Amino acid sequence: MVERANKPKPPALSATPGLPPQPTVVFSEDNSRVTAELPTGESVTVLLYGATVISWKDAAGDEKLWLSEAAKLDGSKAVRGGIPIVFPVFGTAPTHPQTKSLPQHGFARTSRWEFLGKSTSESMAGPAANEPTVKLDFGLSSAAPGLDPLATTNWPFRFNLIYSVTLKRDSLTTSIVATNDDAQPFDCQVLLHTYLRVKDITTVEITGLADATYIDKVDNATTKTSTTPTTTITSETDRVYTPASPSSPVTVSTSGTPLYHVTRDNLANVVIWNPWTAKAAAMADFEPKEGFRNMLCVEPGAVAGWQSVEAGDAFEGAQTIALAN
């Protein structure tokens, strides 16, 4: 079991002469989070609560994700920032019998996940073997002690979730597999609620959404079509896009310079969210209030309609966020 108080410290990199330096994986003193670092300096930190990625830094130590200064990291509330996992419902679904009693965005982000282990480039076969890579696996099931009690009472299915976080020098991939261990099918929605850090939202341009239809949640859920090649954010924005090409990237640029390329695997939708002034002011855990200028949520998901997962079957989806420079 990895989560124990006196687990051995990882050996110092210099203590293995002849071997190339390997990624390190270290638990925090209180066992609340795990940090993986590549020998070249890139790092990722995942809070077991929600299996929420709360930090992703490049080799220079520059943070790529936005995390509210008032985010609760003690397990008392879903984390405001990083990459919370939305499952099995996006928002609330009062008319959907299976999920109508679940809280907003479900229970994956409010359950304590288990750390299942790591793989490094040394133990990875194929092309990944030569690049520094570390993959962290997390699990949550209907039998898990850390499951939010709201799940048991309001979503009584047997299920198993595996969430993998893969760090490479210039990208972060997060992938989820949701398995139905029950004897009956269940419906679910999945979304990776990524808060990307940007310097100034007023200079941000998003490409890859041209001609996509979207549901505009700040305009009575009206369905619209994106008509411009780039999307900018100038007010509260909350849209569920269905890009025509599921495999083409959504690129976030600032002042014409690409920052992030977000690609999706089996996730048909992309939510673009920025709360802007009034919504940011209304969220107690959103600090600083001007922080909406430094974040843009680009959230790959399968949330328009439902994924029906048969007994014994699984739904899988993933995102890769590649650094553009």
Ligand X SMILES: O=P(O)(O)OC[C@H]1O[C@@H](O)[C@H](O)[C@@H](O)[C@@H]1O
Give me the least distance between CB of 48 and ligand X, in Å please.
Answer: 19
Residue 148 makes contact with ligand X by CB under 6 A: no
Placement of tokens 């001007």 in the chain: 290
Among candidate residues 114, 193, 205, 261, the one labeled active-site is 193
CB of 229 to ligand X, least distance (A): 23
Does position 299 interact with ligand X (CB under 6 A)? The reply is yes
The residue count for binding ligand X (CB under 6 A) is: 10
Nearer to ligand X, 169 or 217 (CB): 217
β pairing state of 159-168 and 171-180: antiparallel
Of 244 and 284, nearer to ligand X (C-beta) is 284
Is 193 one of the catalytic residues? yes
Q: How far is the CB of 234 from ligand X (least distance, A)?
A: 18
Active site (annotated) includes residue 236:
no
Q: Using the structure block, give the residue that is written with the tokens 């509330």.
A: 77
CA 291-164-212 angle, to 5 degrees, is 60
> Is 93 a binder of ligand X (CB under 6 A)?
no
Q: Which of residues 160-199 bind ligand X (CB under 6 A)?
A: 193
Alpha-carbon 140 to chain mean position: 15
217 binds ligand X (CB under 6 A): yes
Our CB check for ligand X shows the closer of 109 and 168 to be 109
Does 87 bind ligand X (CB under 6 A)? Our answer is: no
Q: Give 36 or 296: the residue with its C-beta nearer to ligand X.
A: 296
Measured CA to CA, the distance from residue 200 to residue 250 in angstroms comes to 18
How far is residue 27's CA from residue 9's CA, in Å, rounded to a whole number? 9
- CB 293, min distance to ligand X, A: 17
Please tell me whether residue 104 binds ligand X under the rule CB under 6 A. Answer: yes
Least spacing, CB of residue 92 vs ligand X, in Å: 9
**Per CB under 6 A, 273 contacts ligand X:** yes
Residue 64 or 193 with smaller CB distance to ligand X: 193
Q: Is 112 in the site for ligand X (CB under 6 A)?
A: no
Residue 223 CB, nearest approach to ligand X (Å): 15
Give me the residue label for tokens 């949520």.
297
Position 205 contacts ligand X (CB under 6 A): no
Are the CB atoms for 109 and 94 separated by under 8 Å? Answer: no
**Residue 271 is a binding residue for ligand X (CB under 6 A):** yes
Residue 33 assigned to a binding site = no
Q: How far apart are CA 294 and CA 67, in angstroms?
A: 10
Number of helices and strands in the chain (H, E): 2, 21
Count the neighbouring beta carbons within 10 Å of the beta carbon of residue 177.
16
- Max distance between CA atoms of the chain, in angstroms, equals 63
Q: Which of 81, 195, 238, 241 binds ligand X (CB under 6 A)?
A: 238
- 3-class SS of residue 65: strand
Nearer to ligand X, 91 or 146 (CB): 91
104 marked among binding-site residues: yes
For residue 80, say whether it is annotated as part of any ligand binding site: yes
Sheet of 52-57: strand order equals: 24-27, 33-37, 43-47, 52-57
Tell the burial category of 75 from Cβ atoms under 10 Å away from its Cβ (0-12, 13-18, 19+): middle
- Decide if residue 105 touches ligand X (CB under 6 A): yes
Angle subtended at Cα 40 by Cα 37 and Cα 42, rounded to the nearest 5 degrees: 45
CB 300 within 8 A of CB 187: no
Cα pseudo-dihedral 166, 194, 253, 55, rounded to 10: -60
The site for ligand X (CB under 6 A) is made up of 78, 91, 104-105, 193, 217, 238, 271, 273, 299
What positions carry a catalytic annotation? 193, 299
Residues contributing to the annotated binding site for substrate:
80, 104, 109
Residues contributing to the annotated binding site:
80, 104, 109
